Structure 1
Amino acid sequence: MHQRRSVVVVVVLLTVVAAAVLVYSGVRQTRIVVGAEPTGEVVAKGLFGANHRYPFDAFGSFTPGGEPQQRLVANARSTGVSMLRYPGGTVANTFRWTRAIGPREDRGCQPGGGDGAPLDSTIGPDEHMALVEQMGAETTSGLSASGAT
């Protein structure tokens, strides 16, 4: 146990020394400039996005009938949101896509991302894509073939 602790201490010290050498040698100089003047550089379209969480009618993103809220669509378009990740946030960790497809009334519950409490699946991939299309955005997904993220 004592030998293992000594090895860990040596590794930590070497890491700290190596980082200090890089910083003080000028090898890595980071410069952040914040200003109101345009730079002329363009941000890639897919970088301005949001997580699209599905529970509770996607937290008000949809009508009770499953249609995208038009005020949300208009606001997203006007602010330039160009990417939505579905399912987004911690709920993506336990999402099972097979429970979120088919008729809304037949969909199963999802285990919550934080505490595992059951969450509804009324907003699934079909509803998500309707929102994405109306926004004129793109999507990315944490879904895998097994249904887990």
Structure 2
Amino acid sequence: MKKMMKMRRLFTVILMLLTAVYPVTMVMLSGAGIVYNRESYGSSLCIAGALLTVSGAAMTAGALLTLSRRRAAAAMSVILSAAGLVLCLCMLRMLTDHADRAGWSDALTMTPVSEIYRRRILPAAVPALLSAGDSVMKLVKHGRAQKDAEDAPGILDDKD
């Protein structure tokens, strides 16, 4: 039992570190940078940047909700993680398509900007999937515990 508790704590630490690095630092700050430089990008990319920031916030909230033991928090975690990931991937697709059409590349290495965006933002799927999977496991565990509690016979017989 202690080994499971240690593994659970290690999983939580890894999940929080991955969340701090990818959805918060990479996704949200990339979106904020696009919004900050909106004069250079135009309104459609400014909206994509804002939605990228929202998706990072949703994935972060989903990861933070895995810390709670409540069933409602686990359900919200699944919803927020999945919605944030889908929105993030849609905005990534939009940004990379625009960057490829415009021919953007890094000035020093001549790496296409779309490739830079992919390398920064795609790893955000890992903590989102981990938090959604963890929350689904919690929901299944709560469901089984509730079913076992309903099926268990009473301690005292009421037949007397």
In the superposition, the TM-score normalised over structure 2's length comes to 0.25
- Relative to its length, the structure with more strand (as a share) is 1
In the superposition, the TM-score normalised over structure 1's length comes to 0.26
Report the structure number with the largest CA radius of gyration: 1
